[in-house]
Structure 1
């Protein structure tokens, strides 16, 4: 289980950026890049994805755009090759396909490869759903922390005001004692609407 929680270094960020850009260029998904970096750095794919989207991506927007262009060009070149050479799917269980059709293996897909590809797509969707749920949980936790922070800030402000009121009261009391004739004049205390004490003579 990946539980690494230490800070990201510049080397970690660079590895993440290079891996994501390579996957985008090659037509793979960012999720696969996050998984690859997560395996290398012993972090979760979700942590890598969060780091990419929150911090690193902004620094590599131009490079990401270039990688996407390269991917499109690569796909166009691949489609041209497919049209010219043709793509044939053979069934491993059908001896007629295996014996009569001679096509180079680079242009041939077996049913097993197609099934593996489709299963991989299902896995990617499940991973995406898992990441989406994890992101929702993180958002809820963030909202709860922000709310708690606001409450603590209000409490701190109230305590600061109470402290300042207390200091003013003590300062007035000290002045009365220093003057010495405060007892003869018998000052009366009145409570104002702002809860501050005022000496009336």
Structure 2
């Protein structure tokens, strides 16, 4: 099977994806990213845009959405004056060797815009600062390794892409980061609830201890009153028995009719 000499390789697709995502994330345009990739790969920006929309973009849809969310968050941090302005990250070289120029018609902004449909941004907000720093650092290292030590074109050299970082790994990291953040927030809320519950239980425990102390004091007073009452009752009972012992026995006699009459003492 014959392979075209100008066919796109996996390294070219990876370079195109990383460049587009970097431009979108940092507030630039996809057209500017296509110009940068076109100069690096000796292709036109229109060819890069067609390759992105036809093949590469479908594999990086989630990463593109995350890059747009990050750009939106960056614009909020910078404010409307600075965040709302487009910042082109790449400036094409002014003077180029005539032998390196491709005989292709120039691409206008309107024509390139038709190749780059906008994707609606979701309203969710993510804290991606840590991920962004890691991705930027690894992307810079990948680009440095890719374009060092090979045949020079337009002032750079191409090399096989490193296998350390893939966009699938980045997407998986972001999804896991999102679920971990939600889980951590739930644990934090549960922790706060348990702290409030413990504080309420401590307060109830202190109130119960105070009531127990009052009951113990009242029990002592009741016990003393009870013992005093028992002494009074015993003394009264003894007095009654003593009076009954000293009282003389009553004598009765029966009359003719059988009635009992008390005999006077």
Report the TM-score when normalising by structure 1: 0.40
Greater RCO (Cα-Cα under 8 Å, separation 6 or more):
2
Q: Indicate the structure (1 or 2) with the bigger Cα radius of gyration.
A: 2
Q: Which has the higher helix share?
A: 1
